[in-house]
Amino acid sequence: MALALVTIAMALGLIVVYNRLAQLNVQADNAWADINVQLKRRHDLIPNLVETVQGYASHETESFRAVIEARSAAIAARGPAQQQQAEQQLGASLGQFFALAEAYPALRAVESFRALQDDLGRIEEALQNARRYFNAVVRDLNTAIVQFPSNLVAQGCGIQRRAFFELEDRAEAAVPKVSFGG
């Protein structure tokens, strides 16, 4: 009788631990999907920005090409590691793009350009929040995976640690400057 109770208690414990790991795994997938939603919003906004600036600085074709190529690479990237690298490239090219746009005072006065800047700022903020949430979920999942006894369950079920969404270059941590107000 006592052996049956111990066996049942252990089985219930394993079920609880597995369910917790499965829940964290699903939350990590959901958090990653949230990041992808914000990235898509940013990717969709970029052609409008390029088109607006192109009307004022049509001779700056190399800058436009760099932003569009970086955007294409970011859209094509798959998985956290590739996306992180592609998004860093896109952020760098956007920074150069906005530095170029700053040289055109008439452009800064255009309402549609200012609206696009505001939209990009909101998207960047939402993206930062989504990344922060993703990293918090990954932290919780990774912590559960290394703690006893859940490490045994994770190992037995093939649940693995996940990588954080990190920036390799700390200079990329800054949100691209999108305001040209005086």
Residues 6+ apart with CB under 8 A from 95: 176, 177
Residue 39 has φ and ψ, to the nearest 5°, of -65, -40
Lowest mean pLDDT across 4-8, 114-118, 157-161: 114-118
Which amino acid, one-letter code, is at 181? G
Confidence at residue 167, expressed as pLDDT on a 0 to 100 scale: 62
Q: ∠ CA 21-136-20 to the nearest 5 degrees?
A: 15
Report residue 25: phi and psi, to 5°: -65, -45
Residue type, 115: A
| Average pLDDT across the chain, whole number | 85
Decide: 45 and 112 in contact? Cβ < 8 Å. Answer: no
Q: What is the mean pLDDT of residues 100-116?
A: 79
Question: Residue 168 — very low, low, confident or very high, per pLDDT cuts 50/70/90?
Answer: low
Residue ranges and CATH numbers for the domains of the chain are 2-173 (1.20.1440.20)
Yes or no: say if 94 and 116 are a contact pair by the CB < 8 Å rule: no
Length of the chain: 182
- 38-80 confidence digits (pLDDT tens): 999 999 999 988 888 887 777 777 888 888 899 999 999 988 8
Banded model confidence at residue 83, pLDDT cuts 50, 70, 90: confident
